[in-house]
Amino acid sequence: MENANDYFNAWMKTQSQAFEALREQTERMQAIFQGGNTSAQNHFGAWQKAAHDALSASADADVVKDTLHKTFSSSNAFQKLYEIWQPLLKAIQGKTMDQDTYKDLMDPVKIKEMVDKLFDFDADTLTQLQKQMTQFSAQLASNAEHFGKPWAEAAMQNLQSFPQFAEGHPEALMKMFHTLFNAFDNTVGRSFHVPAVGKDREKLELMSRCVDDMSVYAAKNAEYQHRMYITALDAIEKVMAELAKKVEAGETIDRFDGFMDLWVAVNEKTYFGLFQTEEFSRLKGDLLEAGLNARKHYFKLMEMHLFDLPIALRSEMDDLYKTIYELRKKVKKMESQMKEQRA
């Protein structure tokens, strides 16, 4: 499976280069604002999903709707599986396949699509990151008119150059530096009036930290996805080995769903092998933590932005919940004491 391996390794390399560049950019920004380097991360996908689900009513109509959606998705996966295996099965039918050439018959793009769908990897990490960065920058621009706006504009422009940069266009890199320089010139370079302490400075530090969080999360997520893709390739080899065994035993598979049963069983076993390793547990734990760190800083930033508005903030609500919890306990204790006294 060398071709597919090459494809996934190249994909991983592109991801790594891109978020390394992003991290460097963030570090430079951080060096200006806080003179140091920090790291953290983001879990927006899970959060957005949970938020969306929390908004949906839990009526039976939703169960039916969800089931229908999952059934369509599964049917789609079934057909995708056919697309992936079709050239290979054709070669088997035509008796033109041998152990060395079957690797060329698999399309790694289709394999990736299948794994993405199965494990809910909506899109490439970089695309997601880019989207989040764009939203973030827009928010930054609207909330920090004077100081943040040039940086936000620079970030927006850089994001537009990002795909070309990721594909190795040096002029895109130059453009990124140029826009960053302009931003610097319009803010720090012009006035050197960054507040030493206070809410504004804290906000700026937190903003750059959020950007850093996202890049660290993107890096971890890329590592996680890469592991999943490589395991998919491993499973394909194992499916081939199982088919070879059947050939030797003179067995037949008459229908495609029979093949699917074999494919499911082999994949389940192969992924279980990955999932039960300590290394995977650690990676999964790191990914979650990376997402949670970013989410934490993002919420903190939002609170800072919303501070002056006449609304209850999350931390204030937490205090209120704590008070309610403690009062409830006191009332229950007193009720129980009264009951005992009466008895």
Partner 1 sequence: MKTPFSTFDAKAIMKELGELNAKLIKGSEFLTEIDEIDVGTAPKELVYEEDKLKLYRYHREGSQTVGVPVLIVYALVNRQYMLDLQPDRSFIRNLLKLGLDIYIIDWGYPTKVDMYLTMDDYINGYLDNCVDAIRAQTKSDKVSLMGICQGGTFSAIYSALHPEKVQNLVTLVAPIDFSTNDGLLFNWSKCMNVDALVDNYRVIPGDILNEGFLMLMPFNLNIKKYIDMLDVMEDKEKLLNFLRMEKWIFDSPGQAGECLRQFVKDCYQANKLAKGELKIGDHVVDLKNITMPLLNIYASADHLVPPAASKPLNDLVGSDDKTLYEFQGGHIGVFVGSRSQKELAPTIANWLTQRDSGKPQKAQAALAKKAAAGAKVKKSVAKALGKKPAKAK
Structure tokens at 8: 């996934």
210, with CB counted inside 10 A (0-12, 13-18, 19+), is buried
Which residue, chain included where needed, has tokens 């992924």?
271
Stretch in the footprint of partner 1 (CB under 8 A) among 129-137, 163-171, 199-207, 250-258: 250-258
Decide if residue 74 touches partner 1 (CB under 8 A): yes
Smallest distance, partner 1 to C-beta of residue 92, A = 5
Decide if residue 288 touches partner 1 (CB under 8 A): yes
Q: How many residues can be counted in the chain?
A: 343
Structure tokens at 130: 């880019």
Decide if residue 100 touches partner 1 (CB under 8 A): no
Instruction: For the segment 307-336, give every residue that binds partner 1 (CB under 8 A).
Output: 317-318, 321-322, 324-325, 328-329, 332
For residues 11 and 224, which CB has a smaller minimum distance to partner 1 in the complex? 224
Decide if residue 174 touches partner 1 (CB under 8 A): no
For residues 276 and 309, which CB has a smaller minimum distance to partner 1 in the complex? 276
- 86 secondary structure, DSSP code: H
Q: At what angle do helices 60-93 and 108-118 cross, to 10 degrees?
A: 160
- Per-residue CA distances from 246 to 100, 232, 264 (Å): 19, 21, 16
Smallest distance, partner 1 to C-beta of residue 212, A = 17
- 232 near 1, Cβ under 8 Å? no
Question: 295 — phi, psi (to 5°)?
Answer: -60, -40
Report the alpha-carbon distance of residue 115 to residue 280 in Å, rounded: 17
Instruction: For the segment 261-280, give every residue that binds partner 1 (CB under 8 A).
Output: 261, 264, 267-268, 271-272, 275-276, 278
Report the alpha-carbon distance of residue 203 to residue 144 in Å, rounded: 9
Instruction: For the segment 208-247, give every residue that binds partner 1 (CB under 8 A).
Output: 243, 246-247
For residues 20 and 66, which CB has a smaller minimum distance to partner 1 in the complex? 66
- Residue 15: which of 156, 130, 153 has the closest Cα? 130
Stretch in the footprint of partner 1 (CB under 8 A) among 10-18, 91-99, 175-183, 194-202: 91-99
Residue 54 parent element (H or E): helix 44-55
Report the alpha-carbon distance of residue 3 to residue 239 in Å, rounded: 18
Smallest distance, partner 1 to C-beta of residue 76, A = 10
Structure tokens at 241: 């080995």
Decide if residue 75 touches partner 1 (CB under 8 A): yes
Among residues 5, 284, 302, 304, which is the contact residue for partner 1, using CB under 8 A? 284
Report the alpha-carbon distance of residue 170 to residue 187 in Å, rounded: 26
Smallest distance, partner 1 to C-beta of residue 68, A = 5
Decide if residue 10 touches partner 1 (CB under 8 A): no
Decide if residue 340 touches partner 1 (CB under 8 A): no
Smallest distance, partner 1 to C-beta of residue 287, A = 10
Decide if residue 192 touches partner 1 (CB under 8 A): no
Decide if residue 98 touches partner 1 (CB under 8 A): yes
For residues 31 and 64, which CB has a smaller minimum distance to partner 1 in the complex? 64
- Per-residue CA distances from 55 to 59, 62, 302 (Å): 12, 12, 20
Instruction: For the segment 32-71, give every residue that binds partner 1 (CB under 8 A).
Output: 43, 46, 49-50, 53-54, 58, 60, 63-64, 66-68, 70-71
Among residues 9, 10, 13, 72, which is the contact residue for partner 1, using CB under 8 A? 72
